[in-house]
Amino acid sequence: MGIFEILALIGGLALFLYGMDLMGDSLKKLAGGKLESILAKLTAKRWTGFLLGLVVTAIIQSSSATTVMLVGFVNSGIMQLGQTISIIMGANIGTTVTAWLLSTAGISEGASEILKLFKPDSFTPILAAVGVIMTMVAKTDKKKNVGFILIGFAVLMFGMDAMSGAVEKLRDNEGFTNLLTMFSNPIMGILVGTLFTAIIQSSSASVGVLQALAITCSIPFSTAIPVILGQNIGTTITPIISSITGNSDSKRVAFACLFIKMIGVVIVAGIFYALNAVIDFGFMQADAYASPLDIAFVHTLFNILSTVILIPFCSWIEKVSIRVIKSDKDNEADVFGVLDDRFLDVPSFAVEQCKSLVSDMAKISAESFKKASKLVDNYDQSVFDEIVSLEKMVDKYEDKTSTYLVKIAANNMSAGDSRVVSELLHCVGDIERISDHALNVAEAAKEIHDKEITFSKKAMDDLKVITEAVSETLDLAVSALVNDNLEDAKRVEPLEQVIDVLKRVIKNGHISRLRQGDCTMELGFILSDLLTNYERVSDHCSNIAVCFIEISNDSFETHEYLSNIKEDDENEYKELYEAYLAKYSIM
């Protein structure tokens, strides 16, 4: 084998791996995080988990991606260890779909004309052309991802063809034949398959390389079978590496993945070679060669047999994993565990986790404000301490979610996900400021209590009205953000304008009472401070609502929206404004 054949082999392998990676990434983007969300929510029963693992992996074409996602689920507390065992087994079968697709490359020239239509040489160029056209002219991410899937499949098939052509001369090479004979030793073959797959971190890719060799190099069954068994063990290196930085539960998922594969290989290989020693299978002779279709069949059969044998023992596998991997002290539930870096490979799912946290953050800030506003009339030190604690919690939410959103933004994602990330980044700051203003209100209430001063009845009535208005504004803004409620978002701005009016009216009333001697300058400063915080809270609610509306309209012209809102929706806006003005009138 000369230098040019070696370079051709390396180039073919590079194309093959790149094509598989491109196809896998595009499939995950096309799924849009929905598959991962389903996995996280619908795995209560063993067989449900098995089927979900099979289907999801068959779609995204990577058992490694599925198991890494499971490691992230368990590490973040979304799932329990016991839920993942059956999913892993389903994923082991689902990943064999790739081998069946690649087996079409082994269709011989002597096959029927109909069968030749399924040979990659017949349709791969067409797929490549269609894929390129779709990526160039498609306007939606969904269609572009379909195009990239077609291109990825075409590239990996070209790579497979290049590898087969590069090693064609090895068919009659005595040294290579002796090497294959050495790999027919079960232990040696399993070790080679494990090592090679661990290096490229994909059983689908390593099985595909073996299929490429089988097209031209006459791989004996006695060599192919142990290598395939080893390839199934080697693919577990990816979840093992992923779990290194995780907690003990995530490490148990990786161990369970390795344990299932190793026990499966030991049992299936033990039974097979024991039967071969007694029956002497004809296909295990040195001159019996495996085709790409045979390799796909063996790969699938092994995973089906090992799953059938082991799936009744899911609970036992869970117990073994727990016993082998001891619990660590840092294994406590963490609300921010869902912001796992493993999810960044599936941006859509990562965005969903972040949106959930931002929604919780908004609810906490709204709760904090409502608690603080009640302190003005009925001060309680324990409630004040709770508001201080909530403010610190919201600060932590802001730090964690903002950092994670920036990480997501650095990834290649769909336009829809990009808009959501931008929306959340804009909203997080406003939500945090609402919490700050809630604390300011609580501190003003504490000052009133400590100094033993009271507002006049009129002032308290006025404050009650504006407090109720701001509380409704908060409810509308939070509902818009949490429930994607566009109608609630549209109601925020007219109510915010009413709150501005209320602030001016209440201030003017205070000045009148001050002139009449019914109020003091000290109370005036506190009242002004409260009104300023109320107005700022409504301003931030307006920012959240407007941001949500503009993102929904695929635009970021916030200032333009605010200046044109009365003109664009004059009747609707005016009706809402008048209704809120009547609802929160001050006599």
- DSSP secondary structure letter of residue 118: T
Distance CA 306, CA 303 (A): 5
- What is the C-alpha separation between 114 and 116, in angstroms, rounded? 5
Phi-psi region of 280 (alpha: psi -120 to 50; beta: other; left: phi over 0): left
Report the candidate in 396, 180, 214 with the shortest Cα–Cα distance to residue 297.
214
H helices of 453-520, in order, are: 457-483, 486-515
Q: How far is Cα 540 from Cα 437, in angstroms, rounded to an integer?
A: 10
List the helix and strand counts (H, then E) for the chain.
Answer: 25, 0
Beta bridge pairs of residue 289: 220
Six token digits for residue 284: 């295990």
Nearest of 112, 133, 127, 116 to residue 158 by alpha carbon = 127
Return left, alpha or beta for 484; rule: phi > 0 is left, psi -120 to 50 is alpha, else beta.
Answer: left
Q: pTM higher than 0.85 for the full model? A: no
How far from each other are the two terminal CA atoms of the chain, in whole angstroms?
96
CA pair distance 249, 255, nearest whole angstrom = 10
Sign of CA dihedral 218, 224, 230, 232: positive
Nearest to 123 by CA among 161, 165, 163, 166: 161
Residue 273: per-residue pLDDT: 92
The SS3 of residue 62 is coil
Contacts 24+ apart (CB under 8 A), 546-555: 546/489, 546/492, 546/493, 547/423, 547/426, 547/427, 547/430, 548/423, 548/427, 548/480, 548/481, 548/486, 548/489, 549/486, 549/489, 549/490, 551/419, 551/420, 551/422, 551/423, 552/486, 552/489, 554/419
pLDDT one digit per residue (tens) for the chain, 587 residues? 567 777 877 888 888 888 878 887 777 777 666 666 666 665 567 778 888 888 888 877 677 778 888 888 887 777 788 888 888 999 889 888 888 887 777 665 555 555 555 666 677 888 889 989 998 888 777 888 889 888 988 888 888 778 777 766 666 566 666 666 677 788 998 998 899 888 887 787 888 888 888 877 678 888 889 999 999 999 888 888 888 877 888 889 999 999 999 999 999 999 999 998 888 888 888 778 888 889 999 999 999 999 999 988 888 999 999 989 887 655 444 678 788 888 887 788 888 888 889 999 999 999 999 999 999 888 899 999 999 999 999 999 999 999 999 998 888 777 778 888 888 888 899 999 999 999 999 999 998 888 888 777 888 888 899 999 999 999 999 998 888 888 888 889 899 999 999 988 888 877 776 666 666 666 778 888 899 999 999 999 999 888 878 766 655 454 455 555 555 555 678 888 888 888 888 76
- pLDDT reported for residue 332: 45
Cα separation of 573 and 567, whole Å?
9
List the structure tokens of 23.
Answer: 């196809």
Q: Rounded to whole angstroms, how far apart are CA atoms 411 and 352?
A: 15
SS3 42: coil
CA atoms within 13 A on the CB side of 389: 7
**398: Cβ contacts below 8 Å, ≥ 6 apart:** 361, 428, 429, 431, 432
